Amino acid sequence: MQFSNPPFPVSDVAGAKIGVDGGGTKTELILLDLADNVVERLTVAGSNPSVAGAEAARLTVVDALYALRARTPLPVAHTLLCMAGARGFWKEFAVNLEGFGQVTVFDDARPVLELATNGRPGLVLHSGTGSFVAARAPDHTIHYAGGLGWRFGDPGSAYELGRRVLARGLLELQGWAPASRIAPMLRGHTGLEDAAAITRFFYHHAEPNKQIASLAPAVLRLTEEGDHTAHQLVLESTGELLDLAMRVVMQLFPGIPIDELPTGLSGPILTHRVVVAALASRCSLRFTPLDQPPIEGVRRLLTRGR
């Protein structure tokens, strides 16, 4: 998927700026003053309409925007929305949003791409609840790969890793896979003993996606502690995201040595030391784990003006 990269429209009104990073798990907002200093921060529930539902996502963002605007005496000159989920939904949302100055909508890939490349050609691999690859080509067009959502994949994401681990652990509990530390981890996570009860727990939970994704940190701990099965599942999942990234590199950057291409790794799974080492062993991309949150990328975009 390709997006144009126009500069922000310049507002004639001097005023505050609001930046929003809307994801499936949480939504972060910042308020900037006339000198582009961050004067307020706010974190609320997730706002991906594919996860929370369209009306809940809209209300979450509206309420947060009004709460942040109430904290400044200045008019809001510009609002930047970097949002997960259907881009058309957020564009329509922006058209109907009044009282927040010039409203610009980007997808949620743009902030981490900014952190990874600082406006230059390059790419970023991101893993949160979902996953994607974003790239800025040599002609400065923006491209987006993956991010298909939990129903269709998102390799390397917390949900997809949790799904793999859950499936493996259930087979262990049924006696059809060699024992590892995954089955005891599932028992500890759910407080349940057998495969049937654990299956019912996830199928009947009000937020199964979030529950499955919440298994990812425990799997990373097992990996760090040397559990071979957990290690293999993590490598298989993140390796599929790397395969997608390499297809993006081959198409967008022909003739450019890939070891000279800025490549960011974003999110707690991809920046885990075991995963960084594993990905680096598979190719010569120059990986840089990003230690700043996406909302910092939103701030840079607001202050840089594109």
Measuring CA to CA, how many Å separate 176 from each of 27, 173, 179, 224? 41, 8, 9, 25
Same domain, 83 and 215: no
> Looking at the domain assignment, is residue 280 inside a domain?
yes
Task: Identify the band that residue 305 occupies on the pLDDT scale cut at 50, 70 and 90.
Answer: low
Dump pLDDT digits (tens) for 52-95: 888 999 999 999 999 999 999 999 999 999 998 777 899 999 99
Domain containing residue 86: 2-107
**300 has pLDDT over 60:** yes
Dump pLDDT digits (tens) for 91-115: 999 999 999 999 999 988 899 999 9
Q: Give me the torsion for CA of 126, 236, 239, 163, rounded to 10°.
A: -20
Dump pLDDT digits (tens) for 114-123: 999 988 999 9
Same domain, 276 and 150: yes
Specify the higher pLDDT residue, 218 or 150: 218
Question: What string of DSSP letters covers 128-169?
Answer: SSSEEEEEE-TT--EEEEE---TTT--TTSHHHHHHHHHHHH
Same domain, 218 and 82: no
| Mean pLDDT, range 178-196, rounded to an integer | 94
> Looking at the domain assignment, is residue 304 inside a domain?
no
Same domain, 126 and 55: no
Which one of 49, 77, 107 terminates a domain?
107
> What does the block give as tokens for 97?
């949003």
Same domain, 144 and 284: yes
> Looking at the domain assignment, is residue 95 inside a domain?
yes
Lowest mean pLDDT among 142-151, 189-198, 244-253: 142-151
Please provide the average confidence, as pLDDT, over all residues in the chain: 90
> Looking at the domain assignment, is residue 30 inside a domain?
yes
Q: How far apart are CA 283 and CA 235, in angstroms?
A: 14
Same domain, 53 and 124: no
Which one of 107, 139, 169 terminates a domain?
107
CATH code (residue 12): 3.30.420.40
Dump pLDDT digits (tens) for 34-53: 999 999 999 999 888 877 88
**13 has pLDDT over 70:** no
| Mean pLDDT, range 242-249, rounded to an integer | 96
Same domain, 102 and 167: no
> Looking at the domain assignment, is residue 305 inside a domain?
no
Same domain, 28 and 87: yes
> Looking at the domain assignment, is residue 193 inside a domain?
yes
Amino acid at 300: R
Which one of 76, 107, 138 terminates a domain?
107
Task: Identify the band that residue 270 occupies on the pLDDT scale cut at 50, 70 and 90.
Answer: very high
Question: What string of DSSP letters covers 216-235?
Answer: HHHHHHHHHTT-HHHHHHHH
| Mean pLDDT, range 210-218, rounded to an integer | 92
| Mean pLDDT, range 192-202, rounded to an integer | 95
Q: Report the run of H or E that residue 41 belongs to, with start and end.
A: strand 38-45
**269 has pLDDT over 60:** yes
**190 has pLDDT over 90:** yes
Residue 3 has what pLDDT? 45
Structurally, the chain folds into a number of domains equal to: 2
Same domain, 98 and 156: no
Dump pLDDT digits (tens) for 225-236: 999 999 999 999
Same domain, 172 and 189: yes
